[in-house]
Amino acid sequence: MTMHLPVQHNTVEQIVELRNAAIGTLGAQFDLEQEANALHIERIKYIKAAGYRLKPNQDAPWDKVKVLSEEEIAEQREAFIHAETRDIDRGLWEQVVEASGIEKLMDTQSKEELYGSLRSDDLPELTIDNIWATLEKFRDDSHDIFQRGIANVFSKLDRRFKSHDGFKIGSRIIFNEALNEYGSWNYYRKTDDRLRDVERTFFVLDGEPVPEKYMGIAGLVERHATWDKKDYPKIIESEDFPDKAFQERQHQCLVLREERSSNLALFNMN
């Protein structure tokens, strides 16, 4: 089975093949860099012996460079290949995740876990089997991830607001300090991701495709960002629900649908 990734129009097999080809060059790259360094040191020694005076920024202690043993060079070579391979795999994993569209199925917790694993020492090797296993896992777990996303986002809403309930959505959802002083998202609080979880709930339960983040309500708020306080409060129109941003960096998302299937989902999870 071959899966095409829409961004680069490459199949999984092609991505892995190109990845392996790139990694196959790393050993030769290290060897050539070692050879180039040795030639550079040799050149400096020759011109210094000839009486050439190096400029201050050229006068590196080349003649004091430690001559490494074959074992030490082999260790450095292995470490270089390992580090570069991790960087290549990390970047390609991020591309596969983005291009495959599985982010649309993921709640904030799933994203944090996924990208945390990409930054960890246990980063899985980018192989055909690992890619398919990852994509199939998210596909198989999509229902549980979806329900967890609903529970997480609504259970964490501030109960001081009467419209907030752990098991239903009232006429509005309020996020405190969602915006920074420039009117953009306060990314430290990750409110844009939480709002994205709310938005995904509506789309999935209505049987509609989930839009990319920049095309959804989170992207709409970002495009209307302004630092001028006189512009607040203001309404940001969205097809699914209007959005109001307040001067004190409180971000209020109004949910005005008469039929909210997400309330039924929350009730069934209780």
- Tens digit of each residue's pLDDT (9 = 90 or more) over 46-80: 888 898 877 766 655 555 556 678 899 999 999 99
pLDDT of the residue at 203: 74
Instruction: Answer whether residue 23 shows pLDDT above 80.
Output: yes
Split at pLDDT 50, 70, 90, the class of 264 is very low
Q: Which is more confident, 121 or 96?
A: 96
Long-range contacts of 109-118, Cβ-Cβ distance < 8 Å, separation of 24 or more: 109/148, 109/149, 109/152, 110/138, 110/145, 110/149, 111/193, 118/90, 118/93, 118/94
Split at pLDDT 50, 70, 90, the class of 9 is low
pLDDT of the residue at 120: 82
Under DSSP, the state recorded for 7 is T
CB 186 within 8 A of CB 178: yes
Mean pLDDT comparison of 66-75, 146-155, 195-204, 234-243, highest-scoring range? 66-75
Tokens 């199925």 identify what position?
105
pLDDT of the residue at 68: 75
Secondary structure of residue 164 in the 3-state scheme: strand
Of 42-46, 83-87, 243-247, the least confident = 243-247
Of 183-197, 219-233, 246-260, the least confident = 246-260
CB 205 within 8 A of CB 265: yes
Strand 234-236 with 243-245, pairing = antiparallel
Split at pLDDT 50, 70, 90, the class of 161 is very low
Q: What is the mean pLDDT of residues 252-263?
A: 49
pLDDT of the residue at 228: 65
Tokens 């082999």 identify what position?
74
Split at pLDDT 50, 70, 90, the class of 230 is low
Split at pLDDT 50, 70, 90, the class of 260 is very low
Of 28-37, 67-76, 138-147, 192-201, the least confident = 138-147
